[in-house]
Structure 1
Amino acid sequence: MPKRDLGKDPETPRSKSTSPRPGAANIVDVAHRAGVSVATVSRVMNRPELVSPATRERVEKAMAELDYHVNRAASGLRGGYFRTVSIVVASLSQPWYVMLVRALRVELERHGYATLLYDLDHDTSSLVRTLESLARQGSEGVILSTGDRLDDPVTVDALSRARTRFPLVVAGQRVENATWPTVQYDDRTGAREATEHLLEVGAEPVAFLGGLSCSYLGAERFAGYADALLAKGRDPQEWLWPLDGLGFAAGYAAVQEQVAAARIPGGILAVNDEVALGASRALADHELRVPDDVSIVGFGDTDFLPYVSPSLSSVHGSVERIAESACGAIWDMFAGREPAEIEIVRRHLVRRESSRKG
C-alpha cells in the first residue's frame, strides 16, 4: 500500500462561505479548519500524547470554534470525547459474524474503546449509505467484515472516500488496488484441505454447495475445491451446486432439489456451517445417513458444531486472530503509522463425526 502523509489533509480546504455552522460540524470539518488530516484529529481525541503540542492546540481550537462533539446515539458529550470504533458486518443472522463481533469487542474494550455495531443484512447498497453516515457522524475508526463482493466501482469508490475520512480496515477479502488495509483468511487453502480429506475417506464424488456469484468467499472456497479435484483429474464444475442464500434454509433447499433429481454425492463441502447443517437435515429427510452415505464438511467452525449430531467437521480459522490483526491496523492508523497492506490468517480442518468413515 502506498505511503500517505497523515499530517496533511487529503481533501481540498473549505472556503469560508461553506464553513459549517457551530454545532453542526463533523470530524472532517474540524480537519479542514485545523489544516490537518482526519487521522490527526482522531489522534488528538484518542492519543493526544502522539501529537505535537502546536498541532494539538490547533485542532482543539478548531473543535472549540466549531462546537464539535462526537454524536453517539444522537447525543453529544461536551468537555470530553468518546473512544469508539464502529463494526460493520454482513449479517448478524450468521453465527460466525456474531463470534467475530464478540472477539472484536473484547480486543477493542481491552484498549479502552467502546463499539457501535452495524448489520448490512447482505445489502451492498446499505454499506455505501452506512459509510456516508459514519463519515458525517465523525466516526473515529471502522472495521468492516463481509464476504459479499466489494469490487464493483460504486462500492470501491465509497470505501476509498471513507479511507480518507477515518481509519478503515476490511476483514474478509482483498480488492485489487485497494487503498485500505485488509485482514483475511486463506480460504482457498482451507477448502483444498477439506476437499482432499473427503477424497481420502472415499466420499466421492464430492459436491461443492456454494455457487453464489455475489460471494467473494464462495469464489475463494470454490477455487480451493477445484484445486483439489483438478489434481485428481476431476471436473470441478460437474458437482457445483448453486445456492440462493447462505443460511440453513438455503442448504436444505439445494440438497432437496439435487437428491430429488437422483444426484447423490459421496461427500459435500459446504460454503459455510449453516448451509452444511441445512444440507444434513435434507439428507436425513431422504433417509441418507451422515457420514455413512454422505460425508459433510462445513466452513467457519462456529462454536456449536461439537454439539450437533453428528458433530460437524469444519474448516477452522481463528476469529481472535482476525480481531487482533484488524484492531492492530486501527491502532497503527491512529498512531500515524501505515499498517500492513494485507495480513493472511491460516485455516485448518477440524475433523469430526460428519466426515469419518467406518
Structure 2
Amino acid sequence: MTQEPKEQASGTPTLQDVATRAGVSSATVSRVINGGDSVRKETRSRVMRAIELLDYRPNLFARGLSGARAYTIGLAYDNPNAYLIVAALQGALTACDDLGFGLHVHPFNSSAPNLAEKLRDFSNRLGLAGIVLAPPVSERSSALMSLRDCKIPVALVLSSSADPGGNSPCVYIDDRNAAYSITAHLIHLGHRRIGFLKGGKSHHASAERFDGYREALRDYNVVPSEELIVQGDYLFDDGFRGARRLLSLARPPTAIFGSNDEIAAGALAAARSDGLQIPHDISIAGFEDSPFSRQSWPPLTTARQPEDLIIERATRLLIAHIRGGKVENEGFKPELVVRGSTAPPRREA
C-alpha cells in the first residue's frame, strides 16, 4: 500500500488549515488535540490524518495563553555524568507515564548569568505546566525567585541543609550523613589517614559530603590533615589526578574517599597505575552507587543514591502540586553499600 505523501505547505500550517483539510471546525480540532472525549471516532481519525498530512505542530505556548490545560512538564539538569542523566530521565518518564503527562528534557549551564531567562523561555516556549530542577540548577536562588515571580511551578532536588525558600515541593538528599557513614566505615576498618577528593564547587552536595567526612573524623578523634584533601570536580580524570597527588605524599593515605563514584573510579585507576592492589594496599570508596561503582574491579564501596527514584519522587510531587493536591516534602538518605574495594589497612606506606 502506497503511503500518502505529506502536503507541502507554503508556510507553517495552522489549526485552521487542519480544520479545513479535515472538513471540521477549528474547535473540533482543538478538542482532539487536547484529548477531549466528545469527538466521534470517525471525526477524530480525519483530524489526526489531516495533522499527519500537514505535519502540523501545535503551538503549546499559544494553547497555554488560550486557557487550555498543559499536560507536559520539563526536567532541567546540569551534569556531565551520562549515567545520572539517563537515570534521571527514566525516573521522570516513569512518573509522567503513570500520571498522564508528557516530558521535555533540557540541559542548562547552571553557572550562566542568564539561567533564569533560559528557564523561563524553556517553560514559556513549550507551554510547560512546571519544571523539575535537578542539582545544581535547583540550587540557584536567583533563578528560583524568577520562576516563582512568573508563577512557574517547580519541584527541587536539594541537599538536606539547603533552604530553597518559598513553598516549592522538594526532595532532600542527606549527603552529609551518608558521607559520615562512609568515613566511619573506613575508620572502623582501622584507617586513620583517609584522603578526600572533593567534588565540584558549584554543587551544594560537595560541601555536604565534605562536612560529613570532617564530622566523622572529629567524632572518632582522627586528626584531619589538609594535605589529604584535594579539590576537583565530579570527573574520572580529576579522581585520577587527585589520587596521584595523594599517593605521591611522603605518607600517603591508606584509604581514599571520592566524592562520587566517577572520582573514585579514577582514584582506583591511579592506584593501579602505581602497582597498588585494592583493597590490600589501599582502600577506595565512592558515592552514589552509579554504574562506575559496579563496573570497577573490585566493585566500589559507596552510598546508594538511586537518581531514577529521586527524580521520580520529585516529578510526582510536582504533578501533585500542579493538580492542587496536598504535597509534603520528602527526604532521602543514601544507604552505605560495602563492597570489595575497602578492607583493613595492611600497613601504612
Q: Which interval holds the TM-score relative to the shorter structure?
A: 0.7 to 0.9
Q: Which residue of 2 is the match for residue 318 of structure 1? A: 306
SS of residue paired to 2:168? coil
Further displaced range: 229-238 or 275-284: 229-238
Distance, in Å, in 1 between the alignment partners of 2:225 and 2:249 is 17
- Shift, 1:246, TM fit: 1.2
- Residue 255 of structure 2 corresponds to residue 282 of structure 1: no
- Shift, 1:80, TM fit: 7.9
- Shift, 1:263, TM fit: 4.9
In the TM superposition, what whole-angstrom CA distance separates every residue of 1:151-199 from its partner, at most 9, and x where no partner exists? 55x334334335x2x2200113332534422112211111111111111
Distance, in Å, in 2 between the alignment partners of 1:302 and 1:261 is 29
Q: Which residue of 2 is the match for residue 144 of structure 1? A: 133
- Shift, 1:212, TM fit: 4.2
Q: Which residue of 2 is the match for residue 347 of structure 1? A: 334
Further displaced range: 223-232 or 205-214: 205-214
Distance, in Å, in 1 between the alignment partners of 2:322 and 2:250 is 57
Gaps of 5+ in 1: 1-22, 24-44, 49-67
SS of residue paired to 1:281? helix
SS of residue paired to 1:140? coil
Q: Is the 8 A contact 2:194 2:254 kept in 1?
A: yes
In the TM superposition, what whole-angstrom CA distance separates every residue of 1:257-280 from its partner, at most 9, and x where no partner exists? 232343511111111110110111
Gaps of 5+ in 2: 1-13, 15-33, 38-57
Distance, in Å, in 1 between the alignment partners of 2:133 and 2:221 is 38
SS of residue paired to 1:300? coil
Rg: which structure is higher? 2
Q: Is the 8 A contact 2:147 2:153 kept in 1?
A: no
Which aligned pairs between 1:201-350 and structure 2 lie closer than 5 A?
201-210=189-198, 212-236=200-224, 238=226, 241-340=229-328, 342-350=329-337
- Shift, 1:222, TM fit: 1.0
Which aligned pairs between 1:65-84 and structure 2 lie closer than 5 A?
69-71=59-61, 83-84=71-72
Distance, in Å, in 2 between the alignment partners of 1:156 and 1:85 is 16
SS of residue paired to 2:201? coil
Distance, in Å, in 1 between the alignment partners of 2:76 and 2:35 is 21
Distance, in Å, in 1 between the alignment partners of 2:70 and 2:97 is 13
- Give the alignment's Cα RMSD to 1 decimal: 3.2
Amino acid at match of 1:169: A
Q: Call closer, same or farther: CA 1:212–1:81 in 2, change over 3 Å.
A: closer
Percent of counterpart pairs with the same letter? 24
Which aligned pairs between 1:94-133 and structure 2 lie closer than 5 A?
94-121=82-109, 123-125=111-113, 127-133=115-121
- Shift, 1:230, TM fit: 0.5
Q: Which residue of 1 is the match for residue 7 of structure 2? A: none
